[in-house]
Amino acid sequence: MLKADRTYFLLILLHIVIGALLYNNTILPKVYGYTIIFGGIFYIINSQNKNNEVLYAISYMVGSEIILRMTNGNPVYEFSKYGVMIFTLIGIYYQGISKNAVAYWLFLILLIPGVLIATMELNYTISLRKEISFNISGPVCLGICSLYTYNRKVTIEEVNNILLCVGLPIISCLIYLTIYTPNIRDVITGTESNGLTSGGFGPNQVSTMLGLGMFIFTSRLILLSQSVFLLALNLFLTLYLTYRGFVTFSRGGMLTGFIMIAVLIVTTYFLINKKKKLRMLTMIVFAAGTFTAAWLYSSNQTNGMIVKRYANQDASGRAKEDLTTGRGDLAAEEFEIFLKYPVFGIGVGRNMETRYEQTGEIIVSHSEITRMIAEHGSLGVLALMILFLTPLILYFDNKYNIYLVCFLAFWLFTINHAAMRLAAPAFIYSLSLLKVVKSKEEKLFQSE
């Protein structure tokens, strides 16, 4: 076994152990969480971020967010976003930012009026600080990360390593879920999203991270499995991540993962020579077989309920009227708010507060797009245009960032079904702004 293969296997084995140790334990999750925080800060400062160590520290924090939320390992619920911002600011201190990143300064400025309106207009029925921070922490995290990554030069090997740092703690989450619900048949009674198969946590967020993990290890299967050992290992990880993602019964994260994989295949295929295309097609066949096996096994374990879920049917096989499970109505309400307050919006958090006053329940938006246009008005529309168009413009001079459109797709589809509850959409989006350059060691784009 090659040294690199052995290291890869040991890292995966370590995170399998971590996932097992974090289950049903009150102390170790805190130890794990604080180790990531202080270890990341030391790692960046000790190296003075000479080789973009901040990106590795952030990626690991992003990948671990979901299991730390499950196990209460973070100091506060939203800490991963704050941690990402702290790491990024330290990185900026050492390495600075591009003078051309004006678009993301403008993006951050466009968020300010909505916050000011909220501080003046909120009725304090819910904590003012919590309302504002819950809704604005994601966009601010994205803006700060994007300032750092804008046109920052990296190699494709570094991007793959960054993605691996995201994927490793997702494996720990996978093990935690397995221990939490070893027998799927026992807990499936319908076609709704299932907290029992999601570690007792929000299926939407768990599905989002499992779908991202599926993409990461599928990309390694297709592009980086140079030995039989790596092929077998990445096949298994892809299979199991796909299966556990399916049985959360939350569709958004898994569909997003599959879209990312399709985009990666298309964008990469046209950059490589015929010999590599043939090998890539072989790997795609392996991946397709893996997804099919995961789907069939999921159907078997759920007594066909997963098939009905993706067909938008209830347990009896009747078609559900609302494909969006209520999200469409929320989005429509937010669009109506935008029409009433088209310039500056209703203010950050006021959308949620209005629903609370009307229903007595805290109902949060699932779409970051409609939330931003409702709470920030036309400024929110402009902010969203900046986020969507800037990576696409950079793509014309960034053909070696084969993941660019994948990252943009993850951000766009995730914020439409899970808003920005997690730090992942913010950070993954920012990776689309990296300038990928060829290195001497890189083999993917070489002609021979």
Q: What is the full per-residue pLDDT of the chain (448 aa) written as tens digits?
A: 678 889 999 999 999 999 999 998 999 999 999 999 999 999 999 999 999 999 999 999 999 999 999 999 999 888 999 999 999 999 999 999 999 999 999 999 999 998 888 877 656 555 556 667 778 899 999 999 999 999 999 999 999 999 999 999 999 999 999 999 988 988 888 888 888 899 888 899 999 999 999 999 999 999 999 899 999 999 999 999 999 999 999 999 999 999 999 999 999 988 887 888 898 999 999 999 999 999 999 999 999 999 999 988 887 777 776 555 566 777 788 888 888 888 988 888 777 776 666 666 666 777 889 889 988 999 999 999 999 999 999 998 888 899 999 999 999 999 998 888 899 999 999 999 999 998 766 666 655 4
Residue 26: count of CB within 10 angstroms of its CB: 9
Q: What share of the chain is helix, strand, coil (3-state, %, to 5)?
A: 70, 0, 30
Question: Would you state the pLDDT for residue 143?
Answer: 97
CA-CA distance, 113 to 92, in Å (whole number)? 25
Question: Would you state the pLDDT for residue 448?
Answer: 41
CA-CA distance, 368 to 302, in Å (whole number)? 32
Residue 301: count of CB within 10 angstroms of its CB: 18
The pTM is what?
A: 0.93
CA neighbor of 257 nearest in space, from 290, 232, 300:
290
Which of 366-378 are b and which e, b meaning 16 or more Cβ less than 10 Å from the residue's Cβ? bbbbbbbbbbbbe
Question: Would you state the pLDDT for residue 1?
Answer: 64
